[in-house]
Amino acid sequence: SLFGGSDYKLIYRHYATLYFVFCVDSSESELGILDLIQVTSRGGFCAELPVPCPQVFVETLDKCFENVCELDLIFHMDKVHHILQEVVIGGMVLETNMNEIVAQVEAQSKL
Amino acid sequence: MPAPIRLRELIRTIRTARTQAEEREMIQKECAAIRSSFREEDNTYRCRNVAKLLYMHMLGYPAHFGQLECLKLIASQKFTDKRIGYLGAMLLLDERQDVHLLMTNCIKNDLNHSTQYVQGLALCTLGCMGSSEMCRDLAGEVEKLLKTSNSYLRKKAALCAVHVIRKVPELMEMFLPATKNLLNEKNHGVLHTSVVLLTEMCERSPDMLAHFRKVSLVPQLVRILKNLIMSGYSPEHDVSGISDPFLQVRILRLLRILGRNDDDSSEAMNDILAQVATNTETSKNVGNAILYETVLTIMDIKSESGLRVLAINILGRFLLNNDKNIRYVALTSLLKTVQTDHNAVQRHRSTIVDCLKDLDVSIKRRAMELSFALVNGNNVRGMMKELLYFLDSCEPEFKADCASGIFLAAEKYAPSKRWHIDTIMRVLTTAGSYVRDDAVPNLIQLITNSVEMHAYTVQRLYKAILGDYSQQPLVQVASWCIGEYGDLLVSGQCEEEEPIQVTEDEVLDILESVLISNMSASVTRGYALTAIMKLSTRFTCTVNRIKKVVSIYGSSIDVELQQRAVEYNALFKKYDHMRPALLERMPVMEKVTTNGPTEIVQTNGETEPAVLETKPPPPGLQPDSQENDLLDLLGESYITPVIPTAPTSKPVSAGGELLDLLGDLNLTGSPVSAPAPQIAQPPFLLDGLSSRPLFNDNAAGIPSITAYNKNGLKIDFTFERSNTNPSVTVITIQASNSTELDMTDFVFQAAVPKTFQLQLLSPSSSVIPAFNSGTITQVIKVLNPQKQQLRMRIKLTYNHKGSAMQDLAEVNNFPPQSWQ
């Protein structure tokens, strides 16, 4: 699941029918393409942290959506974005503590 | 106007579309509705509309008309509005749109908002897409927030600061005071982002790096790392049993930067690195990620050797892991360290060699490169066995590289000549068609030089092509050898292995089949024909057959073959008395100096007494370049042919056709001094068969240059371009001597890069008289099909004032007209 490129690396993991592809770049971390099934997000964290990160992300999604499936991601894409904003900023990892992330997301949705 | 549909509704509708066209229609309809809603300045539903627009943007449809609406949403007081507004800004806007600057004021206000979540939104947006102008304006606010006690905001501010620094590096100092207390936090989120900020600062500025080293950042980091490892189970940060691996990896990375090239820092972190390396659990990927980062850090800093060995052992363990990602990563790292820690990597040689059998292509490639790097005098036999086996079974894209690698390694470390030749034979027979072109002359030279192995070699080669003559390099080498050593073959002289009984006819049979076969390339045919010709002096009973073959090809369609055949025919008819001398054995060749991968040394075929096989070439003179002609018949390999002719002071015979050059041999001088024959002629010089100049004077003012001027020896180059062939440049060199003593035995040699071809004609003499009273002239022809810049390396040897002089020089000042 690791590809080496000249400027960037693609790291992907798939969980059942969901593919998470992270494009990682050590120098420039602005990328953004959202696709229906392949969620390529502005992810830029250290290239040798392959798998636990998506795992954290997926598990967070799980907690927020209660057993997330791809339909959830499609229909609630704005919510997915908001969750992602609590995990990653400008291409760097912000918070990896799942409980923390979930708490913040829920607090904001009450506003 | 009815209320605009909700986002979910829209998504549902779009998903029912069965074709691309249907979907486009729906989208267009909805876009139209959204646009009219925007025009009406509807505040209530703006949020909903923008959300829908974002969805459509995600699908790939244009959504730029929503940009301003996003700004309006950001300015609104409602949190949900702001949220969607900022999201829209991040997705739809970037610094290329002028509109984005309008956001600056909103963000500024929001950074000072009472609700932390609003502040968070603003920080997030700024950190994602802030342009340099925005960053300049708002850096102060960010810096303030970096010092707040609210950890939620602090961590976001840290990442935002990283973005600001990336966009506007000059602002880095502004954030320096705030960093003092960053690592005192308990909150892991803040710790993490702070480490990122510190890493960014250290990477960007050596001054910062020095500063942080001074304020003992390293001990602080070490302490934090230690706590992470030592502390018990913490459910919040646990991932597969390891406490906050993300933070650990981040810290390790920062330590790497701090410890690079710095002894004190490196020493401070030695212990913790050893601890992490030994205590981390490797059963899950998380542990391996940490270990990998640790290994990289150890290799990069000035660690003690025990630690480095530990690191390499970890990599060795990785190689045994089931997960191919880890194996890949380990091989890549080992490749980087094999130069510096060669012995340690050697210990894992067997594991690496096992990786050659892996299924994954990337792993195989790295294993192959690493294996070649590990070959040395001690393990060459074992390694070669493995590599040859690999060559047998690997994918075609590897075969060329592998074959070249094997040749190189064999050349450097061959334990015995027989082993070397056996290895080469093995490569030729298994991957013969993938062998690079330059391997053939190298091999031929190697074979020539192993005098005692000639019989063995020719026998093995003969047996090899008996079955299959489709692999061109193999056939070329074999033909050449059979031509040279055919007499050994039929006399059954082989000592190394059981001699086979071969008759002259059988040998000729195989060479003729090579000639006839459709599979043989033109070059190969040339080799075969020349080989047959050479056998006419080695064989006794089949000369007539050879004559017949040669005359048949006198009318071959292939011009090269035809020319050869005609010349050989002439040898039989008119110059039969010379035939033995011309076709006799090659002398031992001087080793071709491989300066670099592209350049080779040309030998100047000068007045060379005909050398018998057993007599070594006279010292001080270059060996006969006769082999060049016979090896490279069409000028395709990198040794370009040289036409050694007698000095032009000898009389030119009558008949200005093909045999003119041979005619030069009709000398009045003693036969012993007859120079070696030149039979092949590269095609680009076919137009100049007589001794008339080949070129029309196209010297439309190409400036001449002084290529060399040292110790009284001056060499000038004058240029002419050929009319008939625009890729040919003809250089006439003039060597003059300004000292008071003559320079004798002057030999000029030249080498050009691989993309060129070079031909040296014979010089006018070998003595440069003193006081500039005369010159030596010599003609060089350069073929430059790719019109690349001409470069040349020259080597001069001569005798002066009783001592032998030698010099190497590079000529780089060729005028552009000479090669363009």
pLDDT digits 0-9 by tens, B150-191: 888 999 999 999 999 988 989 888 888 888 888 888 888 888
Contacts with A52 from chain B: Cβ below 8 Å: 239-240, 245-246, 285-286, 289
Q: How far from A24 is each of A11, A92, B682, CA to CA, in Å?
A: 7, 10, 54
Question: What does the block give as tokens for B626?
Answer: 């006769």
The domain total for chain A is 1
Residue A22 domain-assigned?
yes
Across the interface, which of A48, A49, A89 has its CB nearest the CB of B128?
A: A89
The H-or-E segment that residue B170 falls in is none
pLDDT tens digits in sequence order for chain A, 111 residues long: 444 445 556 666 666 666 666 665 543 222 222 221 122 222 222 223 334 456 667 777 777 777 767 777 778 888 888 888 887 777 777 777 777 888 888 888 887
Please tell me the total number of residues recorded for chain B in this structure. 820
Residue A80 structural domain:
8-39+52-109
Q: Which residues, 6+ apart, have CB-to-CB distance to B225 below 8 Å?
A: B248, B251, B252, B255, B272, B276
Q: Is A5 on the interface with B (CB under 8 A)?
A: no
Q: Where residue A69 sits, what CATH number does that domain have?
A: 3.30.450.60
Contacts with B286 from chain A: Cβ below 8 Å: 51-52
Residue A45 domain-assigned?
no
Q: Which residue, B434, B425, B517, B417, is CA-closest to B462?
A: B425
- Spatial separation of the C-alpha atoms in residues B180 and B458, rounded to whole Å: 78
β-sheet with B728-737: strand ranges across: B705-710, B713-721, B728-737, B775-783, B757-760
Contacts with A50 from chain B: Cβ below 8 Å: 285, 289, 325
Q: How many CB atoms lie within 10 A of CB B743?
A: 24
Contact B735, B713 (CB under 8 A): yes
**% of chain B residues with pLDDT over 90:** 3
Helix (H/G/I), strand (E/B), else coil: B619: coil
- Check pLDDT > 50 for residue B118: yes
Q: Which residues, 6+ apart, have CB-to-CB distance to B256 below 8 Å?
A: B296, B297, B300, B301
* Predicted local confidence at residue B768, as pLDDT: 85
Question: In B, residues 784-803, which contact A (CB 8 Å cutoff)?
Answer: none
Q: Which residue, A107, A27, A75, A29, is CA-closest to B120?
A: A107
Does CATH number 3.40.50.720 belong to domain B705-818? Answer: no
Residue A44 domain-assigned?
no
- ipTM over 0.85? The verdict is no
Domain boundaries, chain B: 437-582, 705-818
Question: What does the block give as tokens for B453?
Answer: 């192995």
Contact B714, B735 (CB under 8 A): yes
Across the interface, which of A56, A75, A81 has its CB nearest the CB of B8?
A: A75
pLDDT digits 0-9 by tens, B250-307: 888 888 888 888 888 888 888 888 888 888 877 777 788 888 888 888 888 888 888 8
**B-chain residue closest to A46, CA distance:** B250
Q: Is B198 on the interface with A (CB under 8 A)?
A: no
Q: Which residue, B535, B570, B538, B541, is CA-closest to B554?
A: B570
